[in-house]
A and B are shown apart, each in its own frame.
Chain A
Amino acid sequence: MASFDGFSVFPYNRVMTERLLQISFRNALIGRQMATGGWSYGQASAQGDLEPTCLALLALRWDSSPSRARGLQFLLDTQNPNGSWPAFCGDDPEGSGLTALAVIALINSGELALQTERGLKWLLHSKGKESHWLWKWKFRTSDTHVRFNPDKYGWPWMTGTCSWVIPTAFSVIALKQAFVCCKTEEVDPRIRRGKEMLLDRACPGGGWNAGNGVVYGVPMASHLDATATALLALHGEEVDDVINSGLHWLERRVVTCSAPWSLAWSLLALDAYDRPVGSLADRLCDLSDPGRIRDSATLAAMILALDCLVQGNVFKVLA
């Protein structure tokens, strides 16, 4: 007698498996919440970190448990006086390059307009250092080993540094999600400039590295999560050669990826572009022991990725 393999015989069982895993991941995520209400990257840390907290809040956005409310309160309590968010609880007050992720978390919580507005204002004022005329001149004349157009700037990781792909992509997503129908004169150029920056920094072979496509005449290797995040920010735009080659690169490269963080982000991006993601979801499910996922930001990203097939893609934005 053939053994019963419910997972392959009945397609709906895959959905059930995914659902059970999501519950298991969700419980693990809630179990990692700190007394302060925030989440840290690693369980050995007693410091609430911005990125895992925001991703956890997004992963729990449909959740009615007190965990979500405590997490939101932590996020609100840690906002800097200038409207930005610190990278972690106790950080210096200048503001983190992942402030946009906090804005995205608040927007998707559907409340707290004042804090979101303050975060958006900070985002609109934050820009890469290459946007200043002096540095533009330097990058055009003497400092030319990194190929990029300084007119096309986005957002930095830290105030006083250049634009990079991840903070720019999240900032574009935050602004697009915040201003769906009525982009002001201040907002529209920043979104446009951010998109131009992303398109300018793409790697020649398709996809994105951390920030630059060519250094010292050599094409940089693309990264899965940077590529996925850039593609999410560019979703809804007219699909051009850069976006197309990024998508193709991502589809090819993710086949050999066995790391949950990159798998999760790749799934989110490919889902936004209506590419088939069933096999990626299966592979994420294979990493089904949440105890082995030590990083809470990764655990939350996995929930978001599996969740997008059922409840919608939280990072999907329209033009």
Chain B
Amino acid sequence: MLAGSVGLAAGAATSLPFLVPRFDQVRRPSRSRVAILPAEKYSERLERDLLIGLRLFSLDLRGKSVLLKPNLVDFLPGVDINTHPLLVVAAAQCFLKLGAASVSIAEGPGHQRDTELVLWESGFRALLDEQRIPFVDLNRDELVKTKLHANYTGLGHIWLPRRLRNADFVVSMPKVKTHHWSGVTLSMKNMFGVVPGAKYGWPKNILHWRGIEPSIVDICATVPIHFVIADAIVAMEGNGPLAGSSRALGKVVLSDDPVAADATCARLMGLAPERIAHICETAKFLGNASKELIDQLADPVTAPEMPFRTVPEFEYLQAR
């Protein structure tokens, strides 16, 4: 009882920046679609299963340029911190099969300035070269000044990579993890990686000073996430995003709505999406977090017996 009260109080405190709505328009669809696909391990079979899952959404990708944004943070041997390269490459092949004119993979790591080193050591470089898939370092792309479509940070505008802006179809591909500053890092937090280091530094510390959750909302209000493919085959719990423990969930989560994807992933983690401030706020204008407004196209949402462990400050997120 006491723990619950503390949790609610903490949740309310986290929500303080969101007391007044600061978005320019409501773009929430009437309903959203999510497909939870079973996937026990990272293998060549992923491409076939992913293609079946993607076909459930009847995406019209003909002639479009697709940009895949994985979560590629750093390389720490033996720690599952990045979206797995086999899943990312499988997604690239699927989108080409679905008629995309081009597919590129793009990321701007937050702390590690040597993106090429991360690509090499995480196994991405060999796969990308082999399959001739181009990679864009979002930390070092040409930049375009962009007005924010929400202003919870007070930044007003943000500089964004031109090749991100020019992409017709942006796919956020997070690694499902807990996060010691924002509770979780899912498809929306993953978009911190589009903020360019060349302008904002390594790390993009201005986003921390303006508030991580307000920054997530502002970025996601401004950069459209057309689709989500979340890597929950092996997720992370505890002191994420770098120092947590691996936790096998055996799932890939697809969605045409990042808010619905993140709310679903949170439920799969045994966390309550209604207690996660940036999910709550974006559910007011960007997407749907409510179970009733999400059509599950594949497996049903099942909460784990034991919720994901978090750092103590975020234990109130656990849906016990």
- Measured CB to CB, the residues of A under 8 A from B are 40-42, 44-47, 49, 51, 87-88, 90-91, 96-97, 129, 145, 156-158, 160-162, 164, 166-167, 209-211, 215-216, 218, 220-221, 223-226, 257-262, 295, 297-298
For A257, the chain B residues whose CB sits under 8 A away are 117
Which residues on the B side are within 8 Å of A218 (C-beta)? 239, 242-243
A90, B159: Cα distance in complex, Å: 11
Q: Are A261 and B201 in contact (CB under 8 A)?
A: no
Q: Is the CB of B209 within 8 A of A161?
A: yes
The yes or no answer to B57 lying at the interface (CB within 8 A) is no
| Distance between B134 CB and nearest chain A CB, rounded to angstroms | 10
Shortest beta-carbon contacts, A-B, top 5? A157-B201, A41-B140, A45-B142, A259-B117, A161-B205
A-B contact pairs, 15 of them (CB 8 A): A47-B143, A96-B199, A156-B201, A158-B200, A161-B208, A164-B203, A210-B113, A210-B202, A218-B242, A221-B76, A223-B113, A224-B114, A225-B114, A262-B117, A298-B116
Closest CB in chain B relative to A73 CB, distance in Å: 21
Q: In the docked arrangement, what's the CA distance between A257 and B112, Å? A: 14
Which chain A residues lie closer than 8 Å to B111 at the CB level? 209-210, 223
- Checking B117, B180, B202, B203 against A145 with a beta-carbon cut-off of 8 angstroms, the contacting residue is B180
CA distance A209 to B242 in the complex (A): 13
Against A, the Cβ 8 Å flags (1 = close, 0 = not) of B146-186 are 00000000000001001100000000000000001000000
Complex Cα–Cα for A162 and B205 (A): 7
A30 to B101, CA, bound (A): 34
Give which listed residue, B114, B141, B145, B199, contacts A42 with CB less than 8 A. B141
Indicate the member of B200, B205, B239 with the most A CB atoms within 10 Å.
B205
In the complex, besides A46-B142, A167-B201, 5 extra interface pairs with C-beta distance below 8 angstroms are A45-B162, A160-B206, A161-B205, A210-B112, A259-B114
Contact A42–B201 (Cβ < 8 Å): no
Which residues of A have CB within 8 Å of B163? 44
The answer to whether B140 and A49 have CB atoms under 8 Å apart is: yes
Does A47 lie within 8 Å of B142, measured CB to CB?
A: yes
Tell me the bound Cα distance from A166 to B201 in angstroms.
Answer: 9
Q: Judge if B315 is at the interface, Cβ distance under 8 Å.
A: no
Are A216 and B239 also in contact (CB < 8 A) when A160-B209, A225-B113 are?
yes
Q: Quick check: B142 and A226 within 8 Å, CB to CB?
A: no
For the complex, give the distance between the alpha carbons of A220 and B142 in Å. Answer: 30
Which residues in B have their C-beta under 8 angstroms from that of A129? 209
Distance to closest chain B CB from A295 (angstroms): 6
C-alpha spacing A223/B242, complex, angstroms: 14
Task: For the complex, give the distance between the alpha carbons of A285 and B243 in Å.
Answer: 36
User: Is the beta-carbon distance between B120 and A157 smaller than 8 angstroms?
Assistant: no
Q: Are B239 and A157 in contact (CB under 8 A)?
A: no
